[in-house]
């Protein structure tokens, strides 16, 4: 049984992008695949796009969908093994996961990093328990260290908008009032490294990502220099990996502005959303024709639908 937690789970990235484009042109062409099949979507964290796009993708394939917001709709869940459960957590994942697996054919899971213990977060304890105990294919809807459905949609969006074979794509850190996980930038870099794009990563000192994800990608610490000649600007905040979970800067000089966009090659502006206006990016940029964030969000449907289709066909 195959699961989808990263780009490495795809048989072919090129074929997956091609399939996503075909699905976008004909979203209801495979409704027979999901007949009498059910997907359960489990959310340990809030969501707008992932929840609705994955539900929409499943419905486009003719599947039934059920959603559980853990800790709100259900019992509070214990995830650690070997503990005495004398607190407010009434159920253990060890039983809950196989029970959920008996109710469905595929499980989607969202479980963010808690940003307290790097080793625990990077061990992906929650999603790995779903993989181990559910008995059905598991799809990551953003885990502690990766957000593969987002990165798939990002890649699809760049493919649709690129004007040259090898565009310059810049991942830029931007300020945010709260500490956010590294899942989106980790995953974005990982997917971009599977392309032939010219990837540049820019952030203030102290925000270096896990070398496992960065590989041989070098950091350009001067944001203006990074933006020069760029075809795509992908803005995102993340907390420090080295000083794990800490906010080291809220410097608004890193906000993406029209002046910075003027340094680029008429770049398209991208962000996974939700985005903090006038922290990450100014109103002027977000409301301009260079912003493709809504199309990028729409592509979440087709990236999710491609993955579900591959699973239903037994091809993942």
Q: Which residues bind ligand CP (CB under 6 A)?
A: 47-50, 142, 150, 272-274
CA dihedral sign, ordered 105, 182, 11, 47: positive
The answer to whether 170 touches 196, Cβ cutoff 8 Å, is no
Output 50 or 249, the one with its CB closest to ligand CP: 50
Chain-centre distance for alpha carbon 242: 21
**Tokens 């790995």 map to which residue?**
128
Output 47 or 257, the one with its CB closest to ligand CP: 47
Distances from the Cα of 117 to the Cαs of 13, 23, 41, 206, 243, in angstroms? 32, 40, 26, 18, 11
Q: How far is the CB of 94 from ligand CP (least distance, A)?
A: 27
The residue number with the shortest CB distance to ligand CP is 50
Token readout for 67 is 């959603």
Q: How far is the CB of 67 from ligand CP (least distance, A)?
A: 12
Distances from the Cα of 294 to the Cαs of 4, 48, 225, 269, in angstroms? 24, 13, 27, 11
Output 48 or 262, the one with its CB closest to ligand CP: 48
Q: How far is the CB of 279 from ligand CP (least distance, A)?
A: 16
What is the enclosing helix (H) or strand (E) of 268?
strand 268-270
The answer to whether 75 touches 46, Cβ cutoff 8 Å, is no
Output 187 or 202, the one with its CB closest to ligand CP: 187
Q: How far is the CB of 72 from ligand CP (least distance, A)?
A: 15
The answer to whether 234 touches 270, Cβ cutoff 8 Å, is yes
Q: How far is the CB of 106 from ligand CP (least distance, A)?
A: 18
Token readout for 26 is 């004909």
Q: How far is the CB of 110 from ligand CP (least distance, A)?
A: 7
Q: How far is the CB of 54 from ligand CP (least distance, A)?
A: 9
Q: How far is the CB of 142 from ligand CP (least distance, A)?
A: 6
Output 168 or 280, the one with its CB closest to ligand CP: 280
Output 30 or 158, the one with its CB closest to ligand CP: 158
Distances from the Cα of 259 to the Cαs of 22, 227, 276, in angstroms? 37, 11, 19
What is the enclosing helix (H) or strand (E) of 223?
helix 223-227
In terms of residues, how long is the chain? 316
Q: How far is the CB of 175 from ligand CP (least distance, A)?
A: 18
Output 101 or 157, the one with its CB closest to ligand CP: 157
Q: Could you tell me the end-to-end alpha-carbon distance of the chain, in angstroms, rounded to an integer?
A: 8
Output 101 or 292, the one with its CB closest to ligand CP: 292
Output 180 or 200, the one with its CB closest to ligand CP: 180
Q: What are the residues facing 39 on neighbouring strands?
A: 65, 106
- The Cα–Cα gap between 198 and 1 comes to 35
């Amino acid at each position: 049984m195959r699961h989808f937690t990263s780009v490495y789970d795809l048989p072919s990235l090129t074929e997956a992008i091609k399939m996503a484009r075909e699905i976008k042109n004909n979203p209801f062409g495979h409704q027979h695949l999901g007949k009498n099949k059910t997907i359960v979507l489990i959310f340990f964290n809030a969501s707008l796009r992932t929840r609705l796009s994955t539900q929409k993708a499943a419905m486009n394939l003719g599947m039934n969908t059920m959603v559980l917001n853990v800790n709100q709709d259900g019992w509070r869940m214990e995830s650690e093994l070997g503990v005495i459960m004398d607190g407010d957590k009434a159920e253990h994942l060890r039983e809950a996961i196989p029970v959920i697996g008996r109710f469905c054919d595929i499980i989607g899971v969202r479980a963010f990093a808690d940003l307290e213990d790097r080793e625990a977060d990077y061990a992906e304890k929650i999603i790995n328990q779903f993989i181990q105990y559910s008995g059905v294919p598991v799809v990551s809807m953003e885990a502690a260290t990766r957000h593969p459905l987002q990165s798939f949609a990002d890649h699809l969006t760049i493919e649709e908008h690129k004007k040259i074979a090898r565009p310059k794509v810049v991942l830029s850190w931007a300020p945010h009032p709260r500490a956010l996980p590294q899942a989106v930038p980790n995953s974005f870099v990982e997917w971009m490294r599977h392309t032939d794009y010219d990837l540049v990563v820019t952030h203030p000192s102290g925000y270096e990502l896990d070398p496992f994800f960065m590989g041989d990608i070098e950091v350009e610490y001067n944001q203006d220099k990074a933006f020069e000649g760029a075809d795509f600007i992908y803005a995102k905040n993340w907390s420090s990996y080295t000083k794990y979970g800490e906010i080291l800067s809220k410097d608004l000089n890193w906000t993406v502005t029209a002046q910075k966009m003027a340094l680029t090659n008429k770049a398209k502006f991208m962000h996974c959303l939700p985005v903090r206006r006038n922290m990450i990016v100014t109103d002027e940029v977000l409301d301009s024709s260079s912003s493709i964030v809504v199309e990028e969000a729409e592509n979440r449907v087709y990236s999710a639908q491609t993955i579900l289709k591959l699973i239903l066909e037994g091809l993942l």
